[in-house]
Amino acid sequence: MQPSQDKPKISLDQVLSHGSVPTLPVVALQLLEMTSNPDVALKEISELIQSDPGLASKVLKTVNSSFYGLPKPCPSIERAIVILGLKAIKSLVLGFSMVNLTKGMDDSLDLSDFWKHTILAAVGARQIAQTIGMPEPDEVFAAALMQDIGVLAMLAVNTELYAPVLAETANTHSKLLDLEREQLGIDHIQVGAAMAEKWRMPMPIVFGIRHHHDKAPPQDENETLIKCIVAGELATNAITEHPAEQAFTVFHSAVSEWFGQDEQDIEALFNHIHQSSGEVAKLLDQQIGEVPSAQELMNRASERLFETQLQTQREADQAKHDAMTDGLTGVPNRAHYDQVIVDALADAFSNQQPIAVLFSDADKFKFVNDTYGHPCGDAVLVELAKRVSETVGERGTVCRYGGEEFVVVLPGLDTQAGAAVGEEIRKNIADTPFDMAGVAGAPDEPLPRTVSVGVASWKPGDEQPTAEQLTQRADKAVYTAKESGRNNVKSWGVDAGRRASDRRADEAAALGISLDAVPSGGRTQILLIEDDPLAARLIQSMLEKQPGVSVELKTDGRAAVEYMRDCQAPGRSNPDLIISDINIPGYNGLQIIRALRSNVKFQQIPIVVVTATLDDAIGQSCLDAGANSIYNKLEISADLKNWCSELIRSMSTAA
């Protein structure tokens, strides 16, 4: 929508340079500057916050409120930073600073609607972030609190022009942006983001301000954070706008698509906003009036919600199907295989029929990507999937296991029959080079390719393996085929052999023990996954003071998963222990645990979870995902040195 005049009635330069535009308190500005240094000392931050007794009191009061629900009272700012993390405390300081931005403004201005919308949006965004396991929910909370600072600035600079625009959208906040652009030629998003950049606020907060009205957030590292903030904004619109049916529908559609939330999740969210917004308003010394309960809101939009649910269910069914299919090759994916092999093995045991698992691994696939480019590599994978599927036909199920590996489940076939199928696959691929015509970067001539095939099977009378054991045996057979010159078929228990170490590994797996996971008398390798710099530094320092311990620190979930993949390279080994927080960027702690436990190569590595937000639900979720133990940061921080010592001692005892 174009401005009503060519020249804006309020310009960005005018707002930023105006003498009456609100600014952050000195302590908040100093905190932002100080925390930009990754090596800042905990004591320095604590002393800075305590230099403002009023601010320190508010922070401690909030930390010890039911909003955080700590199991024990937190006595000091320094301990609060250790328990909740630096980002959480910084977010609280910025939140209280938000209140100071209204000081000095015209007393006749009624900002109750502004504060109600701001607080509801922030509480909703934080709750959504917690529900989906988003790292640093308090950073989401702070960004949502600051999302409308541009509104305050425009009011301060030109109350006469801006107040009528604000009043006109009092019950339809979702229309504010368009009306600002139409009437003033500028909007509160532009102003707020520019102010946040001027104050050197953390970039997640700047992005949150800039995109908090975007129903299609940018797909980058801040995408999930922005979606939480936008969802909090949409939830608030559903509460405050009249009529609310359309706003509720927009909100419901967004959270269903983004987070897979159903009616029960939405009801829980609105109940949380209903229960917590009053407490947050009180902590910020604001009056926001009554907030409707979830039941009132759900009744208001029940008919429309039912129609939306039907559509959402259809989309969910399609998404479930898509989740079981490899997007590149069109064959079933690893998740589908994990289900199929368990069911097929159970049927084999029940019916006393043999079953074979076959792994096909493309030889020198990296050469294709490096020489001809990834489009050519993708085309090779598609052709591999096609040829393997054509060869297997109705005899089994073909799945893409990962990378250039395909796995085939062959019910009713023993080792010899499975190896015969493997030879058919090998021959089908080796005998006819791949026609890459039309593929960018591919050679003009057909591209010769080969595969190495590994086979493992079970037959009646043998000891019954688990799905993981049978899969691992086929994988070992592939490695034997690779070591034997590639482009051949090897069978576990025949070509691959049954070494004593293999038997010991199977026996250990049956007991839930990994031989690789036990320290072997050399250095104990620990992977620490923790994004809070202070907590990471303390834990790493204490662990490395233990004899023979070395720590690899990763501050991002994706980096941690990539590190574990690299551990499979020749000459590398898995860590002996993994210690992970729950709330970390990239992949969160639960996602990391599930990813590791789904890979047979990582299933027996002990995983210890440390979190500041431990409750029964979180603890059970961690155990269900595959964690070995869970600890509360508050409790271990009281005697971190002894906790680290006991942890290493328990590993030595287990060994």
CA angle (220 as vertex; 201, 208 as ends), nearest 5: 35
pLDDT of residue 41: 86
CATH 3.40.50.2300 residue ranges for the chain: 524-654
The better pLDDT of the pair 520, 164 is held by: 164
Per CATH, the number for 524-654 is 3.40.50.2300
Q: Which residue carries 């009713």 as its tokens? A: 412
pLDDT in tens, 20-42: 777 788 888 888 888 778 788 88
Mean pLDDT of 243-252: 77
Q: Does domain 334-510 have CATH number 3.40.50.300?
A: no
Mean pLDDT of 356-364: 95
Q: Tell me the percentage of the chain whose pLDDT exceeds 90.
A: 29
Q: What is the CB neighbour count within 10 angstroms for residue 108?
A: 7
- Residue 554: pLDDT above 50? yes
Coil, strand or helix: which one is 518?
Answer: coil
User: How far is Cα of residue 86 from the mean position of the Cα atoms in its chain?
Assistant: 20
pLDDT of residue 587: 82
pLDDT of residue 309: 67
Convert 565-604 to b/e letters by CB count within 10 Å (16 or more is b): eebeeeeeebbbbbbbbbbbbbbbbbbbbebbbeebbbbb
Helix, strand, coil fractions of the chain, as percent rounded to 5: 55, 10, 35
- Residue 3: pLDDT above 50? no
pLDDT of residue 298: 64
Report the sign of the C-alpha dihedral through residues 412, 415, 421, 425, in that order: positive
The pLDDT confidence band at residue 504, using thresholds 50, 70 and 90, is very low
Of 214, 197, 196, 83, the residue nearest 138 (C-alpha)? 83
Report the sign of the C-alpha dihedral through residues 377, 380, 385, 386, in that order: positive
Q: Which residue carries 């269903």 as its tokens? A: 256
- Residue 145: pLDDT above 70? yes
Coil, strand or helix: which one is 517?
Answer: coil
Rounded Cα distance, 245 and 251, in Å:
10
Rounded Cα distance, 603 and 626, in Å:
8
Give me 381's structure tokens. Answer: 């994978």
In single-letter form, the type of residue at position 552 comes to E
Of 145, 143, 147, 146, the residue nearest 225 (C-alpha)? 143
The pLDDT confidence band at residue 613, using thresholds 50, 70 and 90, is confident
Of 24, 7, 78, the residue nearest 48 (C-alpha)? 78
CA angle (424 as vertex; 419, 425 as ends), nearest 5: 95
CATH 3.30.70.270 residue ranges for the chain: 334-510
Q: Are 375 and 441 in contact (CB under 8 A)?
A: yes
Rounded Cα distance, 89 and 63, in Å:
9
User: What's the alpha-carbon Rg for the chain, to the nearest Å?
Assistant: 29
The pLDDT mean for the chain works out to 84
Per CATH, the number for 14-234+275-283 is 1.10.3210.10
Give me 571's structure tokens. Answer: 């000459």
- Residue 4: pLDDT above 70? no
CATH 1.10.3210.10 residue ranges for the chain: 14-234+275-283
pLDDT of residue 303: 53
The better pLDDT of the pair 246, 469 is held by: 469
Rounded Cα distance, 163 and 172, in Å:
15
Q: Which of 35-39, 512-516, 623-627 has the weakest average pLDDT?
A: 512-516
